[in-house]
Structure 1
Amino acid sequence: MSSSVARALPLLFPAPGKHTATVIFIHGLGDTGRGWGGAVENWRRRQRLDEVKFILPHAPSIPITCNWGMKMPGWYDIQRIDGNTESLRQNEDEAGILLSQAYFHDLIQKEIDSGIPADRIVIGGFSQGGAMSIFSGLTAKVKLAGIVAMSSYLLLSLKFADLVPKPEFNKDTPIFMAHGDMDPVVHTALGKKSFDLLKSMGYNATWKIYEGMEHSACPEELDDVESFLQERLPPLWDSEGKSEL
Structure 2
Amino acid sequence: MEGPSESSVPTGIAPSGQVGSSGPLSTTTEYPEPFIINPTTSHTHTIILLHGRGSNGLKFGTEFTTSNTSTGETLQRIFPSTKWIFPTAKKRRAVLFKRMPINQWFDIMDINNQSYREHLQVDGLQETTEFLHSLIEQEIRNGIPVERIVVGGLSQGCASSLYAMLCYKWRLGGYIGMCGWLPFAEYAESFLNTSSSADGIEDDDIFGTSDDEEGTAFTKNEEADGTQERATKDPIAEAIGFLKDNISFPRSQEDKLLVLQTPVFLGHGVLDEKVLFQLGEQARDLLKGLGFNITWKGYSDLGHWYKIPDEIDHIRDFIIDRCSRY
Q: TM-score, normalised by structure 1?
A: 0.87
1: CA distance, partners of 2:114 / 2:90: 20
Deviation at 1:8, TM superposition (A): 0.9
Q: Which residue of 2 aligns with 1:14?
A: 38
Matched, 1:137 2:137: no
The alpha-carbon deviation at position 6 of structure 1 amounts to 2.5
- Report what 1:124 is aligned to: 152
Q: Which amino acid aligns with 2:168?
A: A
> Aligned to 2:82, which of 29, 33, 52?
52
Q: Could you say what secondary structure the match of 2:172 adopts? A: coil
Would the alpha carbon gap of residues 137 and 3 (structure 1) be closer, same or farther in structure 2, given more than 3 Å must change? farther
Decide which structure has greater helix share: 2
* Paired position in structure 2 for 1:176: 265
Structure number, greater radius of gyration: 2
Q: Percent identity?
A: 30
The one-character-per-residue Cα deviations of 1:185-229 (angstroms, maximum 9, x if unpaired) are 110011101211221222222221001111111211122122222
How many residues are matched?
231
The runs of at least 4 aligned residues of structure 1 exceeding 4 Å deviation read none
TM superposition shift of 1:2: 4.2
Match in the other structure for 2:10: none
Whether contact under 8 Å (1:18, 1:51) holds in the other structure is yes
Structure 1 residues 10-159: aligned runs within 5 Å: 10-36=34-60, 37-42=62-67, 45=74, 47-81=77-111, 84=112, 87-90=113-116, 91-92=118-119, 93-157=121-185, 158-159=187-188
Residue of structure 2 in register with 1:207 after alignment: 296
Preserved contact between residue 26 and residue 93 of structure 2 (Cα < 8 Å): no
CA deviation after TM superposition for structure 1 residue 41, in Å:
3.2
Shift of 1:48: 2.4
Q: Residue 168 of structure 1 aligns to which amino acid in structure 2?
A: L
Q: Quote the RMSD (CA, aligned, Å).
A: 2.0
- 1:131 deviates by 1.1
Which ranges in structure 1 are unaligned for 5 or more consecutive residues? 236-245
Contact 1:133–1:148 at 8 Å: present in 2 too?
no
Deviation at 1:129, TM superposition (A): 0.6
Q: Output the CA distance in 2 between the equivalents of 1:59 and 1:21.
A: 23
Runs of 5+ in structure 2 lacking a partner? 1-24, 189-238, 245-250
Q: TM-score, normalised by structure 2?
A: 0.66
2: distance between equivalents of 1:185 and 1:64? 16
Q: Secondary structure at the match of 1:206?
A: strand
